[in-house]
Structure 1
Amino acid sequence: ALHLEMTGFLVVKPEGYVEEAAAGEEGTVYAEADYKTQVATNVQTQEVIDSVVVYITGRNYQDFPEVVALVEDATDQLTFAEDAKAKAEAAAGTGDWQNATLWAGQWWQYQVKAADIGLRAKTFLDEHGAVETAQ
């Protein structure tokens, strides 16, 4: 019984114990300004991602299977980001700034993952002699 109590599966209450009613506290509450700040960050992040995409696609990245796989993964992350962006915009459209901000944060998380993957692909190309292609 002691082991179960220590792991939180069993709570032993002394005889005559009266449990106090406790109200849960609300976590962070987001407002419209928080949403707009997050969206501005997301837009700036997308500009960085776009510049990395231009760099990668301007090289012979298809000649490197490792980079092709990274590009596919980054594309998947950006697809997830678009879904989160749509949910953020839908929540903002109804004035639900709490969920709009949370979904905008999720959108940004997917962008960060895509940006990280893109930078790894760029570094791989630089380190393995990729050449610029004619546009």
Structure 2
Amino acid sequence: MSMRPVPPGRVPTLTEVVRIAEPAPAGTAGPASTPDPAFARTEPAPLQPLAAPVPPPPGLDEEAVVQRVLADLQRQIDLMLEVKLREVLTPALTRATDALMREARTELASTLRDIVARAVAQEISRHRGR
């Protein structure tokens, strides 16, 4: 199941978002050039009121629809949570694993040095005892 966001139904144009300054009256300080008509100010379209909720068709179990929607939403949330947890935990777990491996190697090297030193000392004492 793809988790891509749904694009909006209508995206405002640049001229709806950016307000172009009105040209200064003649004889006042301001830009000397006339604005390009392609960049003329336009008013955004008025917002449409939300439609009234449509009652379910007869014979449709509203509770079953709610349960189906909730189950689908739960699956999507679980997937999104898993992805986000992986994104956040992967670097932290990698750092922890690296630190643990360095510590284990240090301890192993120290233990091996101790074992070799004891073995060498025992061998030397055996050769002296002969």
Query: What TM-score do the two structures reach when normalised by structure 2?
Result: 0.27
Q: Which has the higher contact order (CA 8 A, sep 6+)?
A: 1
Query: What TM-score do the two structures reach when normalised by structure 1?
Result: 0.27
User: Which protein has the larger Cα radius of gyration, Structure 1 or Structure 2?
Assistant: 2
Higher helix share: 1
